[in-house]
């Protein structure tokens, strides 16, 4: 490795560390003040609260990593431009190819790091953090299995849900067991689906079995529709359902395939699957874009403009990506298009910036 390579990489890593520490600290501070009241009201100790916030760091890191890489590369190049180091290197015969090679290598390294963190650390830490908040703060005894089955325990009632679609607030394949004081089953309701409307669940295609106190046998009744007074809400189900962030790519692939085979709508999970595969490549794209912006001579004397532009570009990417993912969730765009369109747009912008380096 050349001395110039080591110098440039050291500068990028230095600013990357500063940016990540700063942004993660701000995020944790905001989330701390937003949720600390919930921890105090639930009687959770500060040590357990600290564990929760620490478990949130890998998820935040994955979200912020591409933007931090972009800004650190942009600042390193901007400072070299401001100090006329780029001009001196060009005069010495160092071409743009050198910086492109270095940034592509860094982008590939950062993409591998990003993918490793999102595949190994995030599913474990996010799962534990969500479970801790559900059980210790919300005080909800619930378990969502990897096979997408959701069990929710209530007051002498256990609800089993096969699948929940947050887009339509619909649950499918629901069974509700009611028990008496001796924990004997006195009633069971099986419904094909239920939709939350006007503050209550509307069940469809119901089979109801009730224990008769006189005969000791179960009476069976069929209903086409039933407005139930189920003591759970969509946010309760969504909170304990298996989330995409708690699964790696392989698990999410298998989960999506299982949901599809059982006839449920897996659009949301399919979009998240493609998004998981698309996000690591953002690091490579933004590193190239940073080169196209950072070497421009018109920004040589105004580093603040370079940093402000970098922040603006980062926000623009997240706005575009979030908008496209929302269209994917709603079925307007195919999942693969929704996940990759922002990458394609910014890849074209990177090529255009490199084609006009002045």
For 198-225, the pLDDT digits (tens) are 777 888 888 888 888 777 788 888 888 8
| Residue 148 clears pLDDT 70, i.e. is over it | no
d(CA 174, CA 189): 8
Residue 328: Cβ within 10 Å count = 24
Span 128-141, average pLDDT: 75
Span 49-73, average pLDDT: 87
**Confidence band, pLDDT 50/70/90 cuts, at residue 228:** low
What's the predicted TM-score (pTM) here? Answer: 0.74
d(CA 246, CA 127): 5
**Confidence band, pLDDT 50/70/90 cuts, at residue 159:** confident
Per-residue pLDDT, 96:
67
| Residue 147 clears pLDDT 60, i.e. is over it | no
For 277-322, the pLDDT digits (tens) are 898 888 888 888 888 877 766 666 677 777 788 888 888 998 999 9
For 242-257, the pLDDT digits (tens) are 677 778 888 888 888 8
**Confidence band, pLDDT 50/70/90 cuts, at residue 342:** very high
**Confidence band, pLDDT 50/70/90 cuts, at residue 240:** low
Q: Of the given ranges (38-42, 153-157, 211-215), which has the lowest mean pLDDT?
A: 153-157
Q: Of the given ranges (93-97, 102-106, 178-182, 219-223), which has the lowest mean pLDDT?
A: 93-97
Q: Of the given ranges (15-24, 138-147, 187-196, 276-285), which has the lowest mean pLDDT?
A: 138-147
Domain spans of the chain, in order of start: 3-138+245-355, 149-240
Per-residue pLDDT, 146:
46
CB 130 within 8 A of CB 52: no
Q: What would you measure as the largest C-alpha separation in the chain, in angstroms? A: 99
Span 21-34, average pLDDT: 88
d(CA 167, CA 267): 10
Average pLDDT, the chain: 81
Span 11-39, average pLDDT: 87
d(CA 13, CA 11): 6
CB 28 within 8 A of CB 53: yes
Per-residue pLDDT, 66:
87
| Residue 145 clears pLDDT 60, i.e. is over it | no
% of residues, the chain, pLDDT over 70: 88
User: Most confidently modeled of 70-84, 249-263, 338-352?
Assistant: 338-352
Span 103-125, average pLDDT: 85
**Confidence band, pLDDT 50/70/90 cuts, at residue 326:** very high
Extended strands (E) in the chain: 142-144, 150-154, 157-165, 170-179, 185-197, 200-211, 218-228
Span 158-165, average pLDDT: 81
Q: Is 253 left (phi over 0), alpha (psi -120 to 50) or beta?
A: alpha
């Amino acid at each position: 490795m050349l001395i110039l390579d080591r110098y440039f990489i050291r500068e990028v890593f230095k600013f990357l560390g500063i940016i990540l520490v700063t942004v993660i600290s701000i995020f944790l501070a905001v989330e701390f003040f937003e949720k600390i009241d919930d921890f105090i009201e639930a009687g959770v100790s500060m040590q357990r609260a600290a564990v929760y916030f620490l478990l949130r760091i890998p998820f935040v890191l994955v979200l912020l990593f591409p933007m931090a890489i972009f800004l650190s590369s942009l600042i390193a190049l901007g400072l070299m431009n401001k100090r006329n180091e780029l001009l001196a290197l060009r005069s010495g015969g160092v071409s743009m190819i050198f910086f492109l090679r270095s940034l592509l290598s860094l982008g590939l390294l950062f993409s591998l790091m990003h993918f490793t963190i999102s595949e190994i650390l995030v599913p474990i830490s996010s799962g534990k953090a969500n479970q801790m908040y559900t059980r210790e703060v919300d005080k909800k005894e619930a378990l969502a299995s990897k096979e997408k089955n959701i069990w929710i325990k209530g007051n002498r009632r256990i609800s089993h849900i096969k699948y929940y679609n947050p887009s339509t607030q619909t649950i499918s394949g629901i069974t509700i067991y009611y028990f008496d004081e001796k924990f004997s089953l006195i009633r069971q309701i099986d419904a094909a689906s239920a939709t939350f409307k006007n503050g209550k669940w509307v069940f469809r295609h119901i089979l109801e079995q009730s224990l008769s106190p006189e005969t000791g046998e179960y009476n069976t009744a069929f209903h086409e529709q039933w407005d139930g007074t189920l003591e759970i809400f969509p946010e309760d189900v969504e909170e304990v359902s298996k989330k995409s962030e708690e699964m790696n790519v392989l698990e999410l692939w298998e989960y999506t395939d299982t949901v599809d085979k059982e006839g449920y709508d897996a659009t949301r999970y399919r979009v998240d699957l493609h998004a998981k595969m698309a996000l690591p490549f953002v690091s490579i794209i933004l590193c190239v874009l940073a080169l196209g912006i950072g070497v421009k001579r018109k920004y040589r004397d105004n580093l603040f403009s370079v940093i402000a532009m970098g922040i603006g570009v980062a926000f623009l990417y997240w706005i575009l990506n979030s908008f496209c993912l929302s269209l994917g969730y709603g079925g307007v765009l195919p999942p693969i298009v929704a996940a990759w369109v922002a990458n394609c747009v910014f890849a074209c912008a990177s090529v255009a910036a490199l084609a006009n380096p002045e």
